[in-house]
Structure formats: C-alpha cells, structure tokens
Structure 1
Amino acid sequence: MVAGWFAGDEDDFRLLGTSCSACASVFFPREDARCRNPGCSGGHLVEVPLSRRGRVWSYTDSRYRPPSPYVTNPELPWEPYALIAVELEPERMVVLGQAAPGLTVADLAVGMEVEVVPGVLHEDEETTWTTWNWRPTGVRT
C-alpha cells in the first residue's frame, strides 16, 4: 500500500488526492510539495477524496509479466489482467488501475460506469499489499 493514496473499506473506499486552494486543481497521485498547475502561483494543498465512480475512458489487456518494481511471484504462472483508464468527471482527470479480479476486456465498454474498490496487489505470509481496482457498478466480484 502506498501511504496516503487511498483509505476506507469495501463500503466507502476512496482514492485520495490533493487540491490546490488557489486554482482548485486536483492531483492524483497526490501532490504534497507544490501545485503542479503551471498557470498557478501556488496555494495550500489539501487532501481530498476523489469520486468513487467514473466512466471507462479506455481499457486494454496486460498479457506480460511487468518488470520490477511490480511485485509478482515468479514461481506462479502469469495471469493476464485488464487495465482501465477511468474518467472522473468532477475532478477532470483520468485515473488508471486494474480491473477487479475476474473481469476481462470482454466485460468492459467505453463509457461504462465503474467504481473504485480495494484490491490486493500481492501478498505473502507476512504482508498484504493493498491497491485499488475498478469494477462495473452493481457487480460484486
């Protein structure tokens, strides 16, 4: 888990970004040092929860094992997964993430409403690395 990138549980899971008090630009991943908007003179950055729902902007398959620092178990066979680019309209941004387990590109369509849910990136005997996934609204995986 990347500290400060998300919070909550299955019922109220949220990605966390930051918003500039001067220009209202929203950033994810979060920005804690300065406003990244080149047209802004700078303001105070405050943590804001991002929208839980958005619309599929684009999607694709990941059919190869990504290189480090992505964590995978090389002793297990590689299983492809779907990547989704989701437009969060209120924040005027697109956020990437994996589809929830069990979803494939055949289950997705541009414009489909999806919601952010907690996911597991990797786990071993000692640690579970949490991440976020996107799934179509109304679907339980």
Structure 2
Amino acid sequence: MSRTRTPVVANWFTGEGEGFRLLGTRCSACAAVFFPREDVHCRNPGCGGGDLAEAPLSRRGLVWSYTDGRYRPPEPYVSDPELPWRPYTLIAVELEAERMVVLGQAAPGVHVDDLEVGMEVEVVPGVLHEDGETTWTTWHWRPVGASA
C-alpha cells in the first residue's frame, strides 16, 4: 500500500525536483512579498492595500543563521516519545530578491558542522513525518552542490 503525499501546510510550496518552490504572496500596491503567505490583506503597515497574488520564491539564498534543535519540541511537531530524540538542524536563509529570511530544517544529513553564514543553499522537497497512510511533506534547505 502506498502512502498519500500530503503537504504539512497547504499552499506553502509546490512542485518536485528542480521545479520545487516555496509559495509566498506579493501585494500589487507596494510589491511586498510575504512568507508564510498572506491571503487576506497586505501586512506592510505603510501600504494602503492591494490585491495579493501568489508568488513563487527564489530557490536559492544565503545562510543567514543556523542552529541545532537538541530538545523535543511540543505538539503539533510529530515525534514518538518512546524513541530517543535526535537533534535536527535549522537554517535561516536570506532570499535576496524577496528581501526576507525564511526558516526551515536542513536536508537529512546536513549538520551544523556543514554550514557557515553566507553559504549558498537551495530549497528542496522534504518529508517531515510518515505514518501508516500519509507521507507529510515539507521543505528543507540544502547546501548548493550537495547530493540529495
């Protein structure tokens, strides 16, 4: 039996492989870009408001900061309390074109020792959790040139 692939959060990313992108929204009045996406109103306090349109974000950016998560986070994060906790790496990535920083987990096998501030990384599809019926998909950051 195959599992259904389901995004952890709907409409935050799309595509596969080289076509994988995070999805934000752009205000038609002030051109501000938002991620997570904003579908109701422009969050720019200096803007009178405009229509919001879906905007695929840059696939690559520069490491702005990074750390490792050495504690078991609370729900809704999915983890089995019966299994030992394994640290994971978080990366804050600056997207120059959008003038924003986006946080996400590092791709499996990427650790803090593999990273440095200013390093180029790319967004790739990832898996947050699998259960008997569903593969919960998300995004990961991976150093450019690193193999999947």
What is the deviation of 1:135? 0.3
Q: Within 5 A, what are the aligned runs for 1:73-112? A: 73-112=80-119
Q: Give the alignment partner of residue 20 of structure 1, picking from 24, 27, 35.
A: 27
**Structure 1 segment 15-54 matched on structure 2, within 5 A:** 15-54=22-61
Unaligned runs of 5+ in 2: 1-6
Which structure has more RCO (C-alpha within 8 Å, separation ≥ 6)? Answer: 2
- Sequence identity percentage: 77
Q: Normalization by structure 1: what TM-score?
A: 0.98
Distance 1:72 1:120 in 2: 13
Alignment partner, residue 117 of structure 1: 124
Q: TM-score, normalised by structure 2?
A: 0.93
Distance 1:111 1:104 in 2: 16
Say which is worse superposed, 41-50 or 63-72, in terms of deviation.
63-72
Shift of 1:71: 1.1
CA distance in structure 2 between the aligned counterparts of 1:126 and 1:102, rounded to whole angstroms: 25
Which consecutive segments of 4 or more residues in structure 1 shift more than 3 A?
none
Counting matched residue pairs gives 141
The answer to whether structure 1 residue 55 and structure 2 residue 66 are counterparts is: no
C-alpha root-mean-square deviation of aligned residues, in Å? 0.7
Which runs of 5 or more residues in structure 1 are unaligned?
none
Deviation (angstroms), 1:76: 2.1
